[in-house]
Chains A and B, each alone.
Chain A
């Protein structure tokens, strides 16, 4: 057969010589070349010299197709599909790059090249050459060509490229080609011959770094997951495939695998001990994905940490990762400055790590865990953002339950919502067991219950009916039943007897501010607050003066100070809403306003209108139907009394109360309160003065480290922009506005808190609108 092979090679040789002889190869010569090639057993049989000649032929064919007066004759296209794939692709790309006159035939040949599986042949050819030590430059050019093919075609054709070169089609094809090459490699390894995989790894790496992980890995990962299931050669091929990815592309590839793998076990099969062997992969997995980035889903985290837990070599890394995560979690600077989303991400990672740890591993780092927990819970509870506090509680509870298996564990009180449950579920590894639906039992379902909402607890004692009696009961009474009844009745009593309340309003406000829960009453805090609001609305000026002065006084708890703020806001809101006959009117049903007429006609009109309304289907209820209640704005005359005293002393620390220091949570509440009061002061006389004062206040605090405070400040700006009339804003506060605008720009770009950025952007839009409005009214 040696002799036969040599004979065939001679036939190809002569055909090549003949084809290259003339200015353009004839159809007959090309036909002979194809036959000779097929008889020799494909392009692999070609010798070095023959390959060079074949390359020259393909280049001239491609140039002729693109530039020549007319397309080459005969089966020239098949030469590209059947000839050596590397040479064919370089020749075609060369012709494409020259931007010749006729690109259509070149692209058509490329399309055939891709569709007829020549990509796999190309990669396999390069792999074999690499094993023999082929030229590196050529390989780099081919690598770039294969990965950038869609872009090259698209650039040449200016977007009118065939569907096969759309990235969503091309890269899955490339993925399938890689699987094919890997099959060849597997066969060759099983045959006992060595083989290089690095070109395939390079292709994979380059595709991934170009952002096409999804397209290529959606083909590769499921196939590889399947092939590696019970075959250790395939597992080794797969591990090598990832290991040989050049360092600069490693991150993209690992990320792609972590995101696409259906589970940690699959990931572990596909990657092997990559993180132990490869420094870059280790950095990416243990640092970058966990501590520097935070946008990945919980499933990715579970894959990642599950992968680390599935091998004894990797478990050491898992413990290291946990220590680093805890370090970040318990760092007060991180808690203060990093975005809430990142903190949630880190908390999730900690919980997942904890779920993987085994008893002896926990034993080995119990003390460290305890220290981190104490540190972390302290700085989380110190935060003024409720979600951060809750994250701290949940993580601390979880750590505590892990390290104290038999002793007492930490238990916090927080709302058990879906988010909290999701977080806690991360701590449990066991797959959820489907609940067995309970069998239908004989029950009382044929009996329909009546409404039982009125079934409430029976009151034993009668509440007092005079305000002064209430004061007596609240200050001195030992009768807890009576006390309870009084607390419950006070609000309505105050509202029913405004005159009697005014006589003792400040005294009553004082009692309520200091009222402590004597017996366990449901909703005590709310009852007390409603009574306080009632007293404040009935007699606003003296009571507001009292409350605002107490806000900055000695010896109050933070709770009481925040109560003061809440009461001020609620009362201001009530006062600023229009009322009818001293009662807040809720416009429940939109009703038709009738013209004044005789009473009898009114009645029948009403009946007819009602009937029409009941028979008419309305698809939209516009505001035109709503009768807006109107009345004097009672907040107008008192807004200043609510507002200005609160601004006065914020920068003067008392011995027990330091707003600018550690009581920043109360400061946050104060700032939010001021924002609401400002907003409610719209259309009042004092609004401009209030706005000016508030802008100054905001300016003084704008670089506060607590994001809750900054959110409040930004709300203050919104309130000022919305409440103060536009011309006053521009006449009296031009400079403040300009300063504020540049600060807002900074916040939008740099603030770590998402809510702050959003609020600042809204404020900028408000300012923009203001400008537009002004341009409209004053045409310059």
Chain B
């Protein structure tokens, strides 16, 4: 008889709105405290102190419009946030400041979260949905210069981009972009040529989230259907379906592979967080705590593996924090 699934280690309450974005910043040395950023539907970004489990600061920069993505740039002092006000803000949080240093107007009305990739010291690439419905734009940060605009061929009918993932095999190689579209396909883009390298129909419904493991050249995507699709990239840069995994309930809003590539977590519309082994997609746990749709899942970046945490943000205004499979 398998052990019953664990309870959350603790729960963060008090966002007073649905939680849509989470990001840990726990990699700093003492005396830095581990921090969790959360973005909520009321437009606030909460900075949670994981020692005291209280909100340290609340950042209000998106005009009370929902925040759907938060990400740090080199430590916890620089924060990027994306809101439904069509703006991406760069926050300066050093020495207690809470000011918006810079912002980008995306002109995109969709729900597509951005993707950030550090390509060199002090140089980042950020992919975001652009003004035209089916376009993705890649900017270089912090200069905000446009690197390329990825536009599907006329007649491709991919629909809007739904989720993005910038990645590179190693720091010298070309950055590539994987994007999931409204028509259920996942497309691999070459940024320098602005060309489609490969396209794979993974789902019948829009791709809600995807994550990719560049070491194994294998990725996973979820949609509003009952299946998770696992696909791989072969040496000819072609995407191929690897397997699919059937879920009990339909709808996946977020998928994240843990940085050590051992396990992955999904955020389900059925209020549940599912944990799988990444190698074979062996189902490991179904964490049933939330009482409404789970919007996002995120793994912490603790240096010590045993301290690693999993956080999930839900429509029920709560953020559950879990300590699971930390010994492997």
Contact = CB atoms under 8 A, between A and B. Distances in A.
Given A450-B3, A450-B4, A451-B3, A443 B280 contact: yes
A455 B284 CA distance: 12
B320 to A, nearest CB: 15
B279 A449 contact: no
A458 B262 CA distance: 28
Interface in B261-313: 262-263, 270-272, 277-280, 282-286, 288
Interface string A449-468: 11110111110000000000
A451 B1 CA distance: 7
A455 B277 contact: no
Interface in A419-453: 441-444, 446-452
B279 A444 contact: yes
B283 A449 contact: yes
Nearest to A446: B328
A450 B277 contact: no
A446 B249 CA distance: 27
Interface in B202-252: 248-249
Contacts of A441: 280
Given A447-B277, A450-B2, A452-B2, A458 B271 contact: yes
A450 B3 CA distance: 5
Contact of A449 (B6, B248, B278, B284): B284
A442 B5 contact: no
Contacts of A449: 2, 282-285
B298 to A, nearest CB: 20
A441 to B, nearest CB: 8
Residue in A443, A446, A455 whose Cβ sees the most chain B Cβ within 10 Å: A455
Given A447-B284, A449-B2, A452-B2, 9 more contacts: A443-B282, A446-B328, A449-B282, A451-B5, A452-B283, A452-B285, A452-B286, A454-B288, A456-B248
List 6 tightest A-B contacts by C-beta distance, closest first. A444-B277, A451-B2, A444-B282, A450-B285, A450-B5, A455-B286
A529 to B, nearest CB: 25
B272 A444 contact: no
A455 B272 CA distance: 9
Chain B interface size, as a band, is: 20 to 34
Contacts of A443: 277, 279-280, 282
Contacts of B277: 443-444, 447
B201 interface: no
Contacts of A457: 248-249
B283 A458 contact: no
Nearest to B285: A450
Contacts, number: 59
A450 B280 contact: no
28 contacts: A441-B280, A442-B279, A443-B282, A444-B282, A447-B277, A447-B282, A447-B325, A448-B2, A448-B3, A449-B282, A450-B2, A450-B3, A450-B5, A450-B6, A450-B286, A451-B2, A451-B4, A452-B2, A452-B283, A454-B286, A454-B288, A455-B248, A455-B272, A455-B286, A455-B288, A457-B248, A458-B270, A458-B271
A454 B285 CA distance: 10
A232 to B, nearest CB: 58
A450 B248 contact: no
B15 to A, nearest CB: 24
A765 to B, nearest CB: 44
Contact of B328 (A442, A447, A454, A455): A447
Interface in A639-693: none
A443 B262 CA distance: 10
Interface of B: 1-6, 248-249, 262-263, 270-272, 277-280, 282-286, 288, 325, 328
A610 B3 CA distance: 26
Contacts of B249: 457-458
Chain A interface size, as a band, is: 10 to 19
A441 B280 CA distance: 10
Contacts of A444: 277-280, 282, 284
Nearest to A451: B2
Contacts of A458: 249, 270-271
Contacts of B279: 442-444
Residue in A446, A447, A448 whose Cβ sees the most chain B Cβ within 10 Å: A447
Interface in A684-723: none
Contacts of A447: 262-263, 277, 282, 284, 325, 328
A443 B277 CA distance: 8
Contacts of B3: 448, 450-451
Nearest to A441: B280
A444 B5 CA distance: 18
A266 to B, nearest CB: 48
Residue in A443, A446, A457, A458 whose Cβ sees the most chain B Cβ within 10 Å: A458
A281 B134 CA distance: 83
A557 B270 CA distance: 40
A484 to B, nearest CB: 15
A450 B284 CA distance: 6
Residue in A442, A443, A450 whose Cβ sees the most chain B Cβ within 10 Å: A450
A377 to B, nearest CB: 36
Nearest to B275: A450
A85 B193 CA distance: 105
Contacts of A448: 2-3, 284
A455 B271 CA distance: 11
B7 to A, nearest CB: 11
Nearest to A453: B2
A458 B5 CA distance: 18
Nearest to B325: A447
Contacts of B2: 448-452
A547 B249 CA distance: 39
A451 B262 CA distance: 19
Interface in A446-495: 446-452, 454-458
A452 B4 CA distance: 8
Nearest to B271: A458
Contacts of B270: 458
A452 B2 CA distance: 8
Contacts of B1: 451
A446 B3 CA distance: 15
Contacts of B6: 450
Contacts of B288: 454-455
Residue in A441, A444, A456 whose Cβ sees the most chain B Cβ within 10 Å: A444
A443 B278 CA distance: 9
A456 B249 CA distance: 8
Contacts of B283: 449, 452
Nearest to B288: A454
A3 B4 CA distance: 105
Nearest to B248: A455
Nearest to A447: B277
Contacts of A454: 5, 286, 288
